[in-house]
Structure 1
Amino acid sequence: MSEKQAPFWETKTLEEMSDKEWEAICDGCAKCCLHKFIDDETVDELAPTAVIFEGEQVHYTNIVCSLLDTKACSCTRYEERTKLVPDCVKLTKDNLGDIFYMPSSCSYRRLHEGRGLPSWHPLLNKGKKSKMHQLGMSVRNKVVYDHDVELDAFEDYIALWPLEDID
């Protein structure tokens, strides 16, 4: 009788994963596509940031990039996304230390923090996203496109649901 081998996400660190394994860790929730900001009263103009200081908090909106397919929760131009949208989030092994801008339910963040994959993750559900959508852990049916709103009024679109993390 052969012993069942543990899945790669339980035996490897994120840094040790192959590119294929790394991509498979993405749960496909599309929360990384949400426009986010850090409330900083010392800055007059909004700008992308790669740092967060003590006492600051990332605020998520329900505004998404126009490249997002909101039903499938996937980028329509995934390979070109960072060229087309310069401030697009591209989490890599090299910038894992900057994972603060990802919601607590993000599978990369969960593994980085030693919390394991959530029960709704597609890798634990035959590759399907249906449980994730049923539990409300994706952006499906919760967002508006950035070209449909006045971005200067982003405070009107602050959303608390991206902070939800179950199991």
Structure 2
Amino acid sequence: MPGSLPSSGRFWDKPIEALTRDEWEALCDGCGKCCLHKLEDEDTGDVHHTNVACRLLDLSTGRCSDYRHRKAMVPDCLRLTPRLVRDVPWLPATCAYRLRADGQPLPAWHYLECGDREEVRRAGHSVIGKAISEVLAGPLEEHIVPEDFASGVRR
């Protein structure tokens, strides 16, 4: 997660392949949806979304509590890259990485557009108040949610 914004103007409008690492990291809107567990049906390959968050997700901020060391603490945590983002089918439709990879603009509620990191929550696109930690959840199968929960549709 970015500490401070890069100072290269509206960098988020550039093609993702042209972004620096800091610019790429700054695209994250902090919704927390990518940190929710998913279940894949072994027979069909269908992905089922849950409201269960990785133990590192701070449910009050929607941000990783140890972003720098997350791979050491959660080995299966996926590090999104400009190349990989096009191959991850479960990213929500509102994900800035996905939007920019598809050449789409960021939504008006994205902090890079509006200047307010809390707008993602106010616009209904954050997991804040909607997720439970894996530490408390129990069986993931009991926490499957409708696809619109994870896809970016406002609830």
Residue number in structure 2 paired with 1:156: 142
8 Å CA contact 1:32, 1:89 repeated in 2: no
Instruction: Indicate if the aligned counterparts of 1:33 and 1:89 stay in contact, CA closer than 8 A.
Output: no
Which residue number corresponds to residue 137 of structure 1?
125
Q: Distance in 1 between matches of 2:19 and 2:152?
A: 27
Percent of counterpart pairs with the same letter? 37
Structure 1 residues 78 and 85 mapped into 2: Cα distance closer, same or farther (>3 Å)?
Answer: same
Q: Residue type matched to 1:8 in 2? A: F
Q: Distance in 1 between matches of 2:48 and 2:103?
A: 24
TM-score (norm 2): 0.84
**TM-score normalised by structure 1 residue count:** 0.79
Is the counterpart of residue 31 in structure 1 residue 33 in structure 2? yes
* One-letter code aligned to 2:36: L
Conservation of the 8 A alpha-carbon contact between 1:121 and 1:129:
yes
Aligned residues: 145
Secondary structure in 2 matching 1:21: helix
How big is the shift at 1:15? 1.4
Equivalent position to 1:15, from 9, 14, 17: 17
Q: How does 1:17-166 map to 2 (within 5 A)?
A: 17-41=19-43, 56-126=45-115, 128-151=116-139, 154-160=140-146, 161-165=149-153
- Unaligned runs of 5+ residues in structure 1 are 43-55
Computed over aligned residues only, the root mean square deviation of the Cα atoms, in angstroms, reads: 1.9
